Amino acid sequence: MSNRTYRFTFGPWNISQGADPFGPVVRPNLDFAVKLREYKKLGFDGVQLHDDDVVPADWNVDQTRKGVANVKKMLADEGLFAEFIAPRLWEDPRTIDGGYTSNSEADRKYAIDRSKRSVDIANMLGTRDIVLWLAREGTYIREAKCPITASQRILDAVNTLLQYDKNIRILGEMKPNEPMDQAYLPTPGHFLALCYRTIDPNRSGVLIESAHSILAGLDPSDDMAYTLWHKKLWSVHLNDQNGLKYDQDKTFGSVDLRRAFNTVWVLERANYDGCVGLDVKAMRTTKVEHQTKHLANSRAMFLRLVEVARSIDAAKVETLRAQRDHEELELYILAKLMGK
Ligand code: XUL
Ligand code: MN
């Protein structure tokens, strides 16, 4: 039984104002510095960042260098580390048709340049991990782009970044839909196949988000287990999701406790040593004074489920497996989850 400790991280967007597609914000904006002060209090060790969470995307080289140095100091003052940088390739008008797979050559160049700049920011902040959530790399109608060319363009983009900096690692965070109707490379399995086609498979890996696997009709723990077998699970975004609808980012374990337990059980047994990242949203009805509870609660759920996983009698599981008594094994796990 392991007794190792986990490092917890989340991105500043996890403390949100509660806007949704049908209504405006319901909580005031918190400055980045104010959000950073919450991390340690909530039991978190590191920060996940989009490039423009650090400095605005249109700052020049000099402004960027100074701005990043400032954020580096803010993180150090709070005792926090930067886990990864993710280029935000889905808000700028030049990414309306996708970044790397846009039909416009000029827009593809913008996406690559912005990604390279994210690598520079990562270097300045002392992290080697670049997360690519390929938000708009897909289509609303199949004929809008050539899907075969698109696959090659994504590979070319990953290779360009691996070539640009010989130290960084690329982590694909795949999601099957939203904002696009159909995403290219919709699951971790798709990105894993691409990893082996890159110029450096050892620096190409995956971040798995629970809700994204569920949206693809897959089980997050099996997606994670398969990726762990490839030694390519380098980060996670834990959360929960109520069926096949929009990406809900609910508190970890809040919908399906058994599914959350399965995730923790897999990570524990595999000695997963990446960060435990959360990607969770507070409910829109949440009051200002409770706006970080979903983070504390997700972390508490994870740690509680670690305790449950560690309390499982491995010999008993083996015996029940050998007897092929899966009904009894199921009851054993369910009883553990009920604290029995
Ligand atoms: C989108 C999503 C993103 C990424 C970071 O669904 O999960 O927040 O995690 O770009
Ligand atoms: Mn995510």
User: So what's the pLDDT on residue 23?
Assistant: 98
Q: What is the mean pLDDT of residues 80-105?
A: 98
- Contacts (Cβ under 8 Å, ≥6 apart) of 41: none
User: Using one digit for the tens of pLDDT, what is the confidence trace for 35-82?
Assistant: 999 999 999 999 999 999 999 999 999 999 999 999 999 999 999 999
Instruction: Tell me 20's DSSP state.
Output: B
User: Using one digit for the tens of pLDDT, what is the confidence trace for 252-263?
Assistant: 999 999 999 999
> Which of 1-10, 214-223, 296-305, 312-321 is the least confident region?
1-10
Residue 209 pairs with which residues in a beta bridge? 237
User: So what's the pLDDT on residue 3?
Assistant: 82
Ligand 1 atom having least distance to the Cα of 212:
6
Query: Mean pLDDT, the chain, as a whole number?
Result: 98
Catalogue the active-site residues: 50, 53
Tokens of 291: 């706006």
Q: Tell whether ligand 1 has an atom less than 6 A from the beta carbon of residue 53.
A: no
Neighbours of 247 (CB within 10 A): 19
278, pLDDT greater than 60 = yes
- Contacts (Cβ under 8 Å, ≥6 apart) of 51: 57, 85, 86, 87, 88, 114, 117, 118, 121
User: Using one digit for the tens of pLDDT, what is the confidence trace for 201-214?
Assistant: 999 999 999 999 99
- Contacts (Cβ under 8 Å, ≥6 apart) of 3: 310
Distance 249 CA to ligand 1 centre (A): 10
1, pLDDT greater than 70 = no
The reply to whether the predicted model has a pTM over 0.95 is: yes
303, pLDDT greater than 60 = yes
Residue from 317, 299, 308 nearest 335 by CA: 308
Calculate the alpha carbon distances from 158 to 21, 132, 179 in Å. Answer: 32, 9, 21
Q: What is the dihedral of CA 293, 308, 226, 241, to 10 degrees?
A: -30
315, pLDDT greater than 80 = yes
Q: Are 133 and 86 in contact (CB under 8 A)?
A: yes
Tokens of 167: 């130290």
Residue nearest to ligand 1 atom 8, measured at CA = 279
For a pLDDT cut of 90, what percent of the chain falls above it? Answer: 99
H or E element, residue 81:
strand 81-86
Instruction: Tell me 35's DSSP state.
Output: H
Ligand 1 atom having least distance to the Cα of 86:
10
DSSP alpha helix (H) spans, 130-209? 147-164, 188-195
Neighbours of 325 (CB within 10 A): 13
For a pLDDT cut of 70, what percent of the chain falls above it? Answer: 100
Burial class from Cβ neighbours inside 10 Å (0-12, 13-18, 19+) for residue 340 reads exposed
Residues, CB-to-ion distance under 5 Å, ligand 2: 209, 237, 279
2, pLDDT greater than 80 = no
- Contacts (Cβ under 8 Å, ≥6 apart) of 238: 209, 210, 252, 260, 263, 276, 277, 278, 279, 280, 298, 302
User: Using one digit for the tens of pLDDT, what is the confidence trace for 125-170?
Assistant: 999 999 999 999 999 999 999 999 999 999 999 999 999 999 999 9
Residue nearest to ligand 1 atom 6, measured at CA = 247
SS (H, E, C) 236-278: EEECECCCCCCCCCECCCCCCHHHHHHHHHHHHHCCCCCEEEE
Q: How far apart are CA 218 and CA 238, in angstroms?
A: 14
Out of 279, 280, 281, give the residue to mutate to test ligand 1, the one with the largest number of ligand atoms within 8 Å of its CB: 279
